[in-house]
Structure 1
Amino acid sequence: MLSIIIPAYNEERTIHLILDKVRDVELIGGLTKEIIIVNDCSSDDTAGAVARYQQANPELNIQYFAHEVNKGKGAALHTGIARATGEYLIIQDADLEYDPEEYNDLLKPVLAGFADVVYGSRFMGSKPHRILFFWHTIGNKFLTTLSNMFTNLNLTDMETCYKLFRREMIQSLTLKEKRFGFEPEVTAKISRIKNVRIYEVGISYYGRTYEEGKKIGWRDGVRAIYCIVKFGLRLG
């Protein structure tokens, strides 16, 4: 089974669309799906949208959890990861920036016995990539390079949403970052697992503008630098 962790904050308008995509994808290897949605105290009707979707699709294995206060994306992921039961686990944002049809691209190296962890890179391969912010792209590449300097990995996209893990491996980590620092923290800590096999595959990216609901900002970039150094030096 593949556990699909979906952190959601004010995604009333799009969460049913991403759930349709998750529902419709046919996984290779005969895998089934466990969908875990964590509502991080949304101020819109995300809860109602999920409830209506569950009622309309009772055949889906959807588990729903809600935070009573807004804690951040990382905290929502912690909640979802702790409750996952599938052999494999993948992170899926509730917006439409990433395509669940590409789960199988990430699963292939794991199911073939080559990988324990697979990152989906927006910066390699020939998949569609929406053209948006120059400085945002430069920032992503800078953070990835800085992370690589501490982890001694050669990733091209450390900040990607699509990260697939063997469930027991990620559940063995003690994760602390409650917001977007999750990405550098989990990368640093997963890289230190003895004999871990990390792969990367190209994925498409249908990015959003801030008017369309994108939430990450420059303060999160500053925090990411702090986290790269902190966890790179094993201070957390």
Structure 2
Amino acid sequence: MTRITKLSIVIPAYNEGRTIATVLDKVSAVELVQSIEKELIIVNDCSVDDTEAQVLAYQQKHQGSLSIKYLKHEVNRGKGAALRTGFQHATGEVCIVQDADLEYDPNEFNLLLKPILDGFADIVYGSRFMGGKPHRILFFWHTIGNKFLTFVSNMCTNLNLTDMETCYKMFDTRILQSLDLKENRFGFEPEVTAKVSRIPRIRIYEIGISYYGRTYEEGKKINWKDGFRALYCIAKYGMLKQ
């Protein structure tokens, strides 16, 4: 059994004023196993809406009862850059990425924690494509694209993941902070996967999670250009293993 006292939850946010308070409510309400403490690290990537006002109001309301770190970029740098900023400030033994939208369910943190707490895993990916959890039906070509990118990534890393592009990735924080990450946008996913795959004796697990995807009208930001960038990153970082 692995002893964990704190989970760092890194939340990158860009123009998520409509949903950020709800996400923070959901994260705050989660009761982690073994009374593990939560550390919320919110990184505002130069939003031009009321994201900052929403976060500061939430921070003020919960001052003293919840650990909330608020960080901001003065220029928009991308999700990967926001995550790097958040990772640098993580003090929990374990760290997870939580998007500031409503696509993933924080109540499933405990599912990802279990293989780590049981002493089996160093890293756990939450897969949208395995298990019997709810999965919103949306875009056919997005699903094909995600599975194709995962397939190519697996070819380069010799892993057998089902969902490399998932947001829910839980890491031993020491491992995460030891990585020299470079990608500023959505290339973070293939880059971090390639780099952890090269760590000797690393133990990576995967578990099925829910997925409440959103449409572009509801605020989805990733597009076909990010898919091509992801393919480039798979080649760039994955081939380094060979």
- TM above 0.5, yes or no, is yes
Q: Tell me, which stretches of 5 or more residues in structure 2 are unaligned?
A: 1-5
Answer yes or no: is 1:62 the counterpart of 2:68.
yes
Equivalent residue of 2:240, what SS?
A: coil
Answer yes or no: is 1:200 the counterpart of 2:206.
yes
Q: Where in structure 2 are the equivalents of 1:1-236 lying within 5 Å?
A: 1-58=6-63, 59-234=65-240
Q: Tell me, which stretches of 5 or more residues in structure 1 are unaligned?
A: none
Amino acid at match of 1:157: D
Contact 1:150/1:228 (8 A) holds in 2: yes
What per-residue deviation string (whole Å, max 9, x for no partner) do you get for residues 24-82 of structure 1?
Answer: 00001221000000000001010000011111111110000000000000000000001
Amino acid at match of 1:5: V
What per-residue deviation string (whole Å, max 9, x for no partner) do you get for residues 154-176 of structure 1?
Answer: 00000000000000001000000
Equivalent residue of 1:3, what SS?
A: strand
Amino acid at match of 1:144: T
Q: Distance in 2 between matches of 1:109 and 1:30?
A: 17
Equivalent residue of 1:77, what SS?
A: helix
Amino acid at match of 2:186: F
The alpha-carbon deviation at position 234 of structure 1 amounts to 1.9
Equivalent residue of 1:113, what SS?
A: coil
What per-residue deviation string (whole Å, max 9, x for no partner) do you get for residues 63-117 of structure 1?
Answer: 0000000000000000000110100000000000000000000000000000000
Amino acid at match of 1:226: Y
Residues paired across the two proteins, number: 235
Q: Distance in 2 between matches of 1:73 and 1:203?
A: 22
Runs of 4+ in 1 over 4 A off after TM superposition: none
Equivalent residue of 1:233, what SS?
A: helix
For structure 1, which segment, 23-32 or 180-189, has the greater mean C-alpha deviation from structure 2 after superposition? 23-32
Q: Distance in 1 between matches of 2:30 and 2:89?
A: 22
Q: Distance in 2 between matches of 1:142 and 1:48?
A: 39
Q: Distance in 2 between matches of 1:77 and 1:6?
A: 8
Contact 1:148/1:154 (8 A) holds in 2: yes
Q: Supply the RMSD in Å over aligned alpha carbons.
A: 0.7
Q: Distance in 2 between matches of 1:174 and 1:33?
A: 25
